[in-house]
Amino acid sequence: MSISWFFTNLLAAFVLPPLSLVILGGLGWWLSKRFRFTGNAIIITSIGLLLALSTGAGSRLLVAPLENRLLPVPNPKMVDAKAIVILGAGRSFAAPEDGNRHQPSTQTLARLRHGARLHRLTGLPVLVSGGAPDRGGESEAAVMARALREDFQIPVRWIEDTSENTAQNAAHAATMLREAGIDRVLLVTDAIHMSRAMQIFSGTGLSPVRAPTDFFSRKNLSAEDFIPNPRFLKQSHYALHEWIGMLWYRLRH
């Protein structure tokens, strides 16, 4: 396992919900022994935030602004891109239904589906990007390339299989593409991740064109969206990760 990848994820766990809110609640409990009002206020706040971020209505406050920042271009054939870059988002391990081979995660599969659609629409060559920071066998890129070939009948020209994060996705993909004389690409990732990915890819000298997929905030609110659910907390976690990531990138650049 990559040490940098492990510590990055460990830090994120302490900064993002739910663990950050559990820690906040623990701090409130400790303070309540001496400062009862302040401590109880912190406990109530942490529980309230945890419940709010676990609802569809609460998570949408974080998710929707990200997803609406960069909507898909109206016509991908008219943007003069020369390649399609699909970013990985994890893999499932040792799928017993497929001979114990690794499979794309549900999130990665949504990106592959959209990348395949764009390839059929434009005929552009495809680059898949994603390493194996957990050192768990096949890289994300290798799994993605196999899925595109076997399940979507889409050829893959470039396999970037060493990156551990979005910054490395961008840097390593840019190196490969420049060798082929390509600088303008259709960039495929989740709508939540699109803004940060565009920010980072633009910093490599590439000219990325937004091609987001997997939107979470497009349906109308319903009663279900006010009931706490772990999947909404996951969306809040993801959105907060992206907001913090964009801020960190701007501070560093």
Q: Does residue 36 lie in a domain region?
A: yes
What distance, in Å, lies between the first and last C-alpha atoms of the chain?
28
Both 88 and 199 in a single domain?
A: yes
pLDDT, one tens digit per residue, over 234-253 is 999 999 999 999 999 989 87
- Alpha carbon distance 17, 62 (integer Å): 13
Both 20 and 132 in a single domain?
A: no
- Alpha carbon distance 84, 156 (integer Å): 10
Both 36 and 94 in a single domain?
A: no
Amino acid letter, 219: K
pLDDT, one tens digit per residue, over 3-53 is 877 888 899 999 999 999 999 999 999 999 999 999 999 999 999 999 999
- Alpha carbon distance 81, 33 (integer Å): 62
> Where on the phi/psi map is residue 220: left (φ > 0), alpha (ψ -120 to 50), or beta?
beta
Q: Does residue 49 lie in a domain region?
A: yes
Amino acid letter, 234: K
Q: Does residue 233 lie in a domain region?
A: yes
Average pLDDT over the chain, rounded to an integer? 95
Give φ, ψ of 199 to 5 degrees. Answer: -55, -50
pTM of model > 0.85: yes
Q: Does residue 132 lie in a domain region?
A: yes
Both 207 and 113 in a single domain?
A: yes
3-state secondary structure (DSSP) of residue 191: helix
Beta bridge partners of 103: 92
Q: Does residue 207 lie in a domain region?
A: yes
Task: Give the range of the structural domain holding residue 25, as residue numbers without chain letter.
Answer: 11-67+227-252
- Alpha carbon distance 102, 143 (integer Å): 7
